[in-house]
């Protein structure tokens, strides 16, 4: 197996979504290829660091404001569509 073949399979390897034969071939390659071993480990760390980061957490005060705004817009939409359907019914019954 060449390093470029290893790289092509890296995503499936890290996600553990491959058949056992291919997995064994990749692990055999990792045993002797230090470069691929390093790329594999540091890519895994990259994913973990982003997954565990608190980047772009929604602060509580902003969260409260957004929730109120969303719900009041939904209520507004609900009452305007109810009014519209009541008007249609009134027209139909005339």
Partner 1 sequence: MNAIEHNVAEPPSEETLLVEAARAGDIAAFESLVRRYDRNVFRIAQHITQNREDAEDVVQDAFLKAYQNLGQFQGQSKFYTWLVRIAVNEALMRLRRRRPERMVSIDEDVKTDEDSMPREIADWSPNPEQLYTQSELKEILGKTIQGLPPGFRTVFVLRDVEGLSTEETASALDLSVPAVKSRLLRARLQLRERLNKYFKRRDGDPRP
C-alpha pair distances (Å), 62 with each of 45, 52, 70, 72: 31, 22, 12, 15
Q: Report if residue 8 touches partner 1, rule: CB under 8 A.
A: yes
Q: Report if residue 75 touches partner 1, rule: CB under 8 A.
A: yes
Residue 16 is given by DSSP the state T
Q: Report if residue 67 touches partner 1, rule: CB under 8 A.
A: yes
**C-beta separation of 40 from 13 below 8 A:** yes
Kindly identify the residues of this chain, within the stretch 29-58, that bind partner 1 according to CB under 8 A. 35, 38-39, 41-43, 45-47, 49-58
Which segment (23-31, 71-79, 86-94) binds partner 1 by CB under 8 A? Answer: 71-79
Strand ranges inside 1-94, DSSP E: none
- Decide whether 71 or 94 has the Cβ nearer to partner 1: 71
Q: How far apart (Å, rounded) are the C-alpha atoms in residues 76 and 82?
A: 10
Give the residues lining the site for partner 1 (CB under 8 A).
4, 7-8, 10-12, 14-15, 17, 35, 38-39, 41-43, 45-47, 49-58, 62-63, 66-67, 69-71, 73-75, 77-78
């Amino acid at each position: 197996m060449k390093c470029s073949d290893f790289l092509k399979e890296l995503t499936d390897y890290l996600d553990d979504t491959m058949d056992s034969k291919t997995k064994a071939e990749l692990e055999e390659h990792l045993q002797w290829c230090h470069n691929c071993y390093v790329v594999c480990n540091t890519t895994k760390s990259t994913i973990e660091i982003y997954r565990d980061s608190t980047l772009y957490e929604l602060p509580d005060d902003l969260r409260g404001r957004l929730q109120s705004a969303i719900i009041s817009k939904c209520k507004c939409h609900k009452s305007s569509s109810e009014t519209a359907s009541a008007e249609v019914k009134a027209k139909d019954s005339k």
